[in-house]
Structure 1
């Protein structure tokens, strides 16, 4: 996937290209996002989610300030306040206090949530706010314009324009983006950017080429699972990032028909509660529908309207779990401290494709994952690219395998110069020059199918083992197959799924329930005659279409 460029400085005069990008972090293994961009004589740092900023000090350029202080860039632009894009900013400011850091007005208010353990005065006036949809001159012949891009309040895409005597160069950096509307953020409006004659697009590829159900379907499936758990007498524990997803979940729980008016307590703990407080201060910047909701009842904290939403205070912890409730807490918290009640049942729901590692909490209760996407899927990503039609597309923010899937798409290879650089690998972005596109990575694997009397064998090339995803896919040696249109999709069963199925099957072996139904596979119903068809089911559940699995 690397294009083979050597690591070089981004100082002007060392390259024939006006545009270059040197990634210090591309979020392959959770290291965060940090890109150093050169446009002519200007060096722009895009985000700083590095936990260690020491690589930024290796090659310093003397600034244009009177004291000639060496700086790792001329300016810093921050797309939004999530830690993987912002956790290194405080250290960056302390090390280079003269380096200007810009972000949207809302992001400037949310960024201090990344350093709640620091003194408040350390977070003041570190960031310079920029207005939305306004052309702002940052340096001579260099302007920026900010466009809201969904995902999180205050999240923006930066449109940078560098003008020379010959032409203008335009580059758009999306950061994290989401085309769909979510509960608290409006989606990225493509119509605002059409026709800008873009040269370079730096874009995230968090979900690779995966296709997601409609956002409302995702919400309904999650609400249905929580509703079933509450009905079965279980409490629900939801570890989430402190900012963004936690607040989206609260709005879903407060407004979904499964929960409105229900006698349920929703407890919010730790930094998720601090994130809620920060949102309340941003009310004028939230969508009109949210502002209208807040005119009639509190957005988050409400002990009057059911379901009740409360902060979890230390005095209340001993009562948690005595009756079914829902707890939202930060993903880094020790979850065992919530599950202290004897004979209480817990469902731990963790979001898919995050850095949360909750497998070791399986002894506390049932651990499951859910999809409530905060980024655009593969079709949304390609839709944005085709609307903007840049010469170069640079993919960052995603696993190496997912980014390889995107760079290998024929529809992109045939139209654009596609890059997915490794850390500290320079990407030169010549505009208008002849460009030899690197060969697309081979992500298809040939095989053979053999139909026997009692089984079907599928044989694949051993090259598939070279993909880092293979180890997880083949961990248990068991797979599940299902039809998706005319294609057959294979999925590896994880040890956790296998353990849950086996342990629960022993408990309910004598009962008529989903756990012993022949149509239940992978804890999902595949009986088209059942009202639960294609839904994830609890093994103790039951429906009239039950048919016992033959022993």
Structure 2
């Protein structure tokens, strides 16, 4: 802005990516303490000790949790800025911070540069970092009334969830609580399926883990319930850091803490305790809840005769593919910390910027946002790739930008008892196609006057069909891909099946099932053959 260069956040893993030995900016502003926004700050500070780094007071205290192995040696290198009070860093350059929701201390940053001269107009940039309009258990949401009508020249906004539409936060919390409660109390059914599972929640150090603890401590399904909640690894360190910052939390949280401990409590049910590392192998002997690090080794928890339900955050689940079995069930859940599509557009319409730059999200999701007609008719929209220069001309006349090519024209036909949709093969060039076509099966539902189609993944099919799988008297699988004559090499070779040419699980089933004749032995080449034998 003007003669100044400002660095907004620094999530680089490798600081060798910096282009030179000179400081990359005149100053650094950190929006919040999550690793993808802050993990490079310590290396940046050590390389350029004189480079000023600013954040809110809470963020300056939480930053050290990004370097847990050397946390005691990390100085408070970031300078704290107040809320809602413009601070001038250089001649004509100011910044003002507003609460962004999402995480304690997270800030929306308003930058203003006023050139010298009586006729000069100020230029403004608003950067959201990660933000959330809804209130969560430990953080109040971003207040639109504080920013309404601001009309910045440039809005840099995250688009983590793209145009997706999600249920209200409280509804999401109730669904998570009900699933955990169900796992802890489920009885073994007539078919011998496992009940009374313990629940393992792999989580990042900051944010979601503390939110879930607060949810379990205050939700009506768990208040007074005789169950142990164990907190493992760096998540416990995050809880300790939160307790040191209690005066900065919402009044409702402070009021809760006056009557009982926010996290650690062995007297009030449910009991919340730290988990010693030497107890990981025995903690599941009785049904319990364990919060552990997302990157830790979970195998220590999975002992014989200790059934577990592993619940993974939906947006972090893809890299982790564990097999479902009698002793281990893996599912995902949604507990959003970012704004969905309608909330993101609501923020933009309230701000009324001239330019909007979408960052921090899957490129396809960002392209979806730039393709929204209600946005590109009113604003200049950008979703640039890394390393590209974005020119942002400021003027009074709005020139409508060309909408991106994100739609596909097709045809539908009613053929007796089925309806077929025909789309051009250009749609397969999108990287999301592989996920949609994973199994060849889709799910359709009405959303207002629109029909929404989504692909069913192999994991979803496993969960959906598990209740329909029957067992024969000798305990072997019946009417499933494992005993179908068309299943070879873990793939379906029946042209009449919707699963044709796709990988299928042995527990799978489709209407085109044909049993293997007695004189033809089925091929059970599953990566976990011991589980098939047990079943």
Structure 1: 5+ residue stretches without partners: 1-38, 61-69, 511-515, 517-548
Tell me which residue corresponds to 2:485. Answer: none
Q: Aligned match of 1:352 in 287, 311, 314?
A: 314
Q: What's the CA shift string for 1:446-468, capped at 9, x where partnerless?
A: 22222222322221111111111
**d(CA) in 1 for partners of 2:44 and 2:290?**
35
How is 1:511-530 mapped onto 2 (pairs within 5 angstroms)?
none
SS at match of 2:170: helix
Larger Rg: 2
Normalization by structure 2: what TM-score?
0.83
**d(CA) in 2 for partners of 1:150 and 1:385?**
16
2:122 equivalent to 1:159: no
How is 1:190-269 mapped onto 2 (pairs within 5 angstroms)?
190-232=144-186, 233-269=196-232
Tell me which residue corresponds to 1:416. Answer: 379
**d(CA) in 2 for partners of 1:343 and 1:507?**
23
Tell me which residue corresponds to 1:53. Answer: 15
2:41 equivalent to 1:105: no
Q: Aligned match of 1:75 in 27, 39, 44?
A: 27
Tell me which residue corresponds to 2:390. Answer: 427
Structure with higher RCO (Cα < 8 A, 6+ apart): 1
How is 1:458-477 mapped onto 2 (pairs within 5 angstroms)?
458-477=421-440
**d(CA) in 1 for partners of 2:281 and 2:420?**
54
Q: Please report how far the alpha carbon of residue 134 of structure 1 lies from its aligned counterpart in structure 2 after TM superposition.
A: 1.0
Tell me which residue corresponds to 1:402. Answer: 365
**d(CA) in 1 for partners of 2:147 and 2:462?**
49
Answer whether contact 1:336 1:361 (CA < 8 A) is retained.
Answer: no
Tell me which residue corresponds to 1:288. Answer: 251
Tell me which residue corresponds to 1:170. Answer: 124
SS at match of 1:51: coil
SS at match of 2:322: helix
Q: Please report how far the alpha carbon of residue 392 of structure 1 lies from its aligned counterpart in structure 2 after TM superposition.
A: 0.6
Answer whether contact 2:61 2:76 (CA < 8 A) is retained.
Answer: no
RMSD: 2.1
CA shift in 2, pair 1:396/1:277, >3 Å: same
**d(CA) in 1 for partners of 2:312 and 2:324?**
12
Answer whether contact 2:317 2:332 (CA < 8 A) is retained.
Answer: no
**d(CA) in 2 for partners of 1:495 and 1:76?**
44
**d(CA) in 2 for partners of 1:180 and 1:142?**
31
CA shift in 2, pair 1:127/1:422, >3 Å: same
Q: What's the CA shift string for 1:209-230, capped at 9, x where partnerless?
A: 1111111111111111111111
Q: Aligned match of 1:140 in 86, 91, 98?
A: 91
Q: What's the CA shift string for 1:312-353, capped at 9, x where partnerless?
A: 01343342111111111111111111112x222111111111
Answer whether contact 1:464 1:470 (CA < 8 A) is retained.
Answer: yes
**d(CA) in 1 for partners of 2:318 and 2:42?**
24
SS at match of 1:476: coil
Q: Please report how far the alpha carbon of residue 436 of structure 1 lies from its aligned counterpart in structure 2 after TM superposition.
A: 5.0
**d(CA) in 2 for partners of 1:198 and 1:501?**
48
Q: Please report how far the alpha carbon of residue 294 of structure 1 lies from its aligned counterpart in structure 2 after TM superposition.
A: 0.4
CA shift in 2, pair 1:324/1:349, >3 Å: same
Answer whether contact 2:27 2:52 (CA < 8 A) is retained.
Answer: yes
**d(CA) in 2 for partners of 1:271 and 1:488?**
44
2:272 equivalent to 1:309: yes
Q: Please report how far the alpha carbon of residue 503 of structure 1 lies from its aligned counterpart in structure 2 after TM superposition.
A: 5.4
Q: Please report how far the alpha carbon of residue 300 of structure 1 lies from its aligned counterpart in structure 2 after TM superposition.
A: 0.3
2:467 equivalent to 1:492: no
SS at match of 1:472: helix
Q: Please report how far the alpha carbon of residue 119 of structure 1 lies from its aligned counterpart in structure 2 after TM superposition.
A: 5.3
SS at match of 2:70: coil
CA shift in 2, pair 1:259/1:104, >3 Å: same
Answer whether contact 1:358 1:367 (CA < 8 A) is retained.
Answer: no
**d(CA) in 2 for partners of 1:211 and 1:509?**
43
**d(CA) in 2 for partners of 1:249 and 1:52?**
31
Structure 2: 5+ residue stretches without partners: 187-195, 474-478, 480-510, 514-535
SS at match of 2:394: coil
Q: Please report how far the alpha carbon of residue 355 of structure 1 lies from its aligned counterpart in structure 2 after TM superposition.
A: 6.6
Q: Please report how far the alpha carbon of residue 506 of structure 1 lies from its aligned counterpart in structure 2 after TM superposition.
A: 3.0
2:442 equivalent to 1:479: yes
Tell me which residue corresponds to 1:36. Answer: none
**d(CA) in 2 for partners of 1:186 and 1:442?**
37
**d(CA) in 1 for partners of 2:44 and 2:442?**
47
Answer whether contact 1:347 1:367 (CA < 8 A) is retained.
Answer: yes
Q: Please report how far the alpha carbon of residue 408 of structure 1 lies from its aligned counterpart in structure 2 after TM superposition.
A: 0.6
Q: What's the CA shift string for 1:421-441, capped at 9, x where partnerless?
A: 110111121211656554222
Normalization by structure 1: what TM-score?
0.81
Answer whether contact 2:282 2:301 (CA < 8 A) is retained.
Answer: no
Answer whether contact 2:65 2:71 (CA < 8 A) is retained.
Answer: no
CA shift in 2, pair 1:385/1:503, >3 Å: closer
Q: Aligned match of 2:239 in 276, 297, 301?
A: 276
